[in-house]
A and B are shown apart, each in its own frame.
Chain A
Amino acid sequence: MNRRNAMTALAVLVLAVIADALLSRVQGDGPKGAEAAAVWWLLAGWVLLLWFVLGRLAQLRGRVLGLLAPALFGLAMLYLWEIAVVGWDVPRVLLPAPHAVGEALAARWGALRADFRQTAVSVVAGYCAGCGAGFGVALLADRYRLLQRGLLPLAGLAGAVPIVGIAPIMVMWFGFDWQSKAAVAAIVTFFPMLVNTLAGLASVDAMHRDLMRTYGAGHLATLLKLRLPSALPFVFNALKINSTLALISAIVAEFFGSPIYGLGFRISAEVARMNVDVVWAAIALAALAGSVFYGLIALVERAMTFWHASYRS
């Protein structure tokens, strides 16, 4: 019954969208320049309709069907954004309409692609270096208690410190090119990886450790067979957080100085020229890349930690 209702609701929505499209065709260029009141009514009507439809869709379960609600929500936000911006004639400088962003993306595709490649190199290099180093130091600290007790509080402190501030210094040391951005990303991703890996290695309960003792297993065997697999969920947690952090750090590091390409450079340059739609296009690109990166890691996580309690409800 629920499914039926949801499908009906979706169908109603689709019809409404088509009707709207036809209507704006008839009126020519949509409700542009219409009175503010009319736009309010249009928005209100859409919100009510969407609430109704989403309420039905929200009851759907299942991997694919469960995505309908957020997908619709996102599309709805875009649509309402478009209506509001066009209807109220919002200045392009303040908030461009989605179609303007799309146009900018298409128009400057060549430059944006080069920017993306530049930033991507520093993100991936920094991410691998930082996560690898964090993991390695965690293994060392796990082996040598003294190192762990000394390092962990300092690593905790580092979480409170705005590490991105180190960007200008990296630029000074490694120059303007991707290496300095990678260095920043590496340092930023190092600490979450260190802290999480150590937490994961420590998450094994006493019972399991005792059992390993009764098997006469040494430190290495215990590490490989028990503690590393147990630590995987924590490690992946850090890997996911770090994917976002690496991207953001690289982009912000580019604010401090970059050759003439890079997403961060593009953003700060176009902001200075008030080409806000290009800025939004660059951000959309970065957001897409970030989501894909995160999604890939989540997929690998599911494959490697399928056994974890969080996957069974």
Chain B
Amino acid sequence: MSDAAVQAKDLSLVFQTADAPVTALSAIDLTIARGEFVSFIGPSGCGKTTLMRAIADLERPTSGSLTVNGVSPEQARLDRAYGYVFQAAALYPWRNVLRNVMLPLEIMGLRERERRTRAAKQLELVGLTGFERKFPWQLSGGMQQRVSIARALAFEPKLLLMDEPFGALDEITRDHLNEQLLRLWERTGKTVVFVTHSISEAVFLSNRIVVMSPRPGRIIEIINCDLPTGRGLDVRESVAFAEIAHRVRAALRSGHSYED
């Protein structure tokens, strides 16, 4: 089992807040294999972001076990095993696009020339060659997010963690970036863990969908998604797509996601 990208066993996480303890995650059992594209979907408070942050060693679980690439999340973080993409681009306004992508490499201690080549390669992967000297505020929201993705890929990690990366963008840009992300995944074969609360996005992108519900945060159902590779946005009109989306919605409903 040590070749699994992520393995969680009976994982729990309880936050001590001012009012009362909040069980963000309760007895999570999950295995993510290498090369998979897994989405976490659920309403606010279901623990999807918390689970991802735990994988990234940004939160500490209170009980249970969690391994990333066979080692503890902390070790994985120090080994620079993953790239993280937030909902906002979080670029540095005082650095141009190229230098923003080079940032993690500087911290890693790579030499200048090596940094440049790698950064240029990632920018090419997201289709932003030619924009190296621009500053973040000169780019649109969608392009900034693409720079953020390029930056997450700078280490060339095997694992990509994305927390609602397209949530702040308009639908048309979102669709465009969904397609681009899919192509990128097919091209690089990385493991992607993707948090979203858009059902169609989850169905379009993933090969497995983890449906979660809140109070306490837990997994309701894991749905397999076997849409054909090389698919475009048109697949959304297919019957197979609608069936899977229906199953996701039913799972969410059974987890009381549509109630107050």
A, B from the same assembly: yes
**Chain A residues near B (Cβ < 8 Å):** 207-208, 210-217, 221, 225-226, 229, 305, 307-309, 312
Contact of B57 with A213 in the complex, beta carbons under 8 Å:
yes
Contact of A215 with B107 in the complex, beta carbons under 8 Å:
yes
By a CB distance below 8 angstroms, the chain B residues around A216 are: 77-80, 107-108
Cα–Cα distance between A211 and B104 once the two chains are bound (Å): 9
Contact of B86 with A207 in the complex, beta carbons under 8 Å:
yes
Q: Can you list 12 residue pairs at the A/B interface with Cβ under 8 Å? A: A207-B86, A208-B90, A210-B86, A214-B82, A214-B83, A215-B107, A215-B108, A216-B80, A305-B94, A307-B135, A308-B93, A312-B137
B77's contact among A213, A226, A308, A312, by CB below 8 Å, is which?
A213
The answer, yes or no, to whether B92 is at the interface (CB within 8 Å) is: yes
Cα–Cα distance between A229 and B100 once the two chains are bound (Å): 13
Contact of B106 with A225 in the complex, beta carbons under 8 Å:
yes
B58's contact among A208, A214, A217, by CB below 8 Å, is which?
A214
Cα–Cα distance between A225 and B82 once the two chains are bound (Å): 20
By a CB distance below 8 angstroms, the chain A residues around B77 are: 213-214, 216
Cα–Cα distance between A216 and B84 once the two chains are bound (Å): 12
Contact of B84 with A214 in the complex, beta carbons under 8 Å:
yes
The answer, yes or no, to whether B56 is at the interface (CB within 8 Å) is: yes
By a CB distance below 8 angstroms, the chain B residues around A210 are: 53, 56, 58, 84, 86
Contact of B107 with A221 in the complex, beta carbons under 8 Å:
yes
Cα–Cα distance between A240 and B88 once the two chains are bound (Å): 32
The answer, yes or no, to whether B8 is at the interface (CB within 8 Å) is: no
Contact of A207 with B137 in the complex, beta carbons under 8 Å:
no
Which of A212, A217, A307 has the most C-beta atoms of chain B within 10 angstroms of its own C-beta? A307
Chain B: number of interface residues, binned into ranges: 20 to 34
**Chain B residues near A (Cβ < 8 Å):** 53, 56-58, 77-80, 82-84, 86, 88, 90, 92-94, 103-104, 106-108, 135, 137
Cα–Cα distance between A80 and B67 once the two chains are bound (Å): 79
Cα–Cα distance between A229 and B82 once the two chains are bound (Å): 26
By a CB distance below 8 angstroms, the chain A residues around B106 are: 225
By a CB distance below 8 angstroms, the chain B residues around A213 are: 57-58, 77
Cα–Cα distance between A305 and B37 once the two chains are bound (Å): 41
Cα–Cα distance between A308 and B92 once the two chains are bound (Å): 10
By a CB distance below 8 angstroms, the chain B residues around A226 are: 92
Cα–Cα distance between A221 and B108 once the two chains are bound (Å): 10
Cα–Cα distance between A215 and B85 once the two chains are bound (Å): 12
Cα–Cα distance between A214 and B160 once the two chains are bound (Å): 11
Given known pairs A214-B56, A215-B107, A221-B107, the reply for A229 and B94 (CB within 8 Å) is yes
A304 nearest CB neighbor, chain B only: B94
Contact of A307 with B90 in the complex, beta carbons under 8 Å:
no
Given known pairs A211-B84, A225-B106, A225-B107, the reply for A307 and B94 (CB within 8 Å) is yes
A208 nearest CB neighbor, chain B only: B90
A132 CB, min distance to chain B CBs, angstroms: 23
By a CB distance below 8 angstroms, the chain A residues around B103 are: 215, 225
Contact of A229 with B92 in the complex, beta carbons under 8 Å:
yes
B148 nearest CB neighbor, chain A only: A211
Contact of B90 with A207 in the complex, beta carbons under 8 Å:
yes
B108 CB, min distance to chain A CBs, angstroms: 7
Given A216-B77, A307-B94, 8 new contacts (CB under 8 A) = A212-B107, A213-B77, A214-B56, A216-B78, A225-B107, A226-B92, A305-B94, A309-B93
B56 nearest CB neighbor, chain A only: A214
Cα–Cα distance between A254 and B43 once the two chains are bound (Å): 67
Cα–Cα distance between A115 and B86 once the two chains are bound (Å): 58
B103 nearest CB neighbor, chain A only: A225
B138 CB, min distance to chain A CBs, angstroms: 10
Given known pairs A216-B78, A216-B80, A307-B135, the reply for A211 and B94 (CB within 8 Å) is no
Which 9 pairs, one residue from A and one from B, show the smallest C-beta to C-beta distance?
A307-B93, A214-B84, A307-B94, A217-B107, A215-B104, A215-B107, A216-B78, A207-B90, A221-B107
Cα–Cα distance between A309 and B56 once the two chains are bound (Å): 31
B249 CB, min distance to chain A CBs, angstroms: 31
By a CB distance below 8 angstroms, the chain A residues around B107 are: 212, 215-217, 221, 225
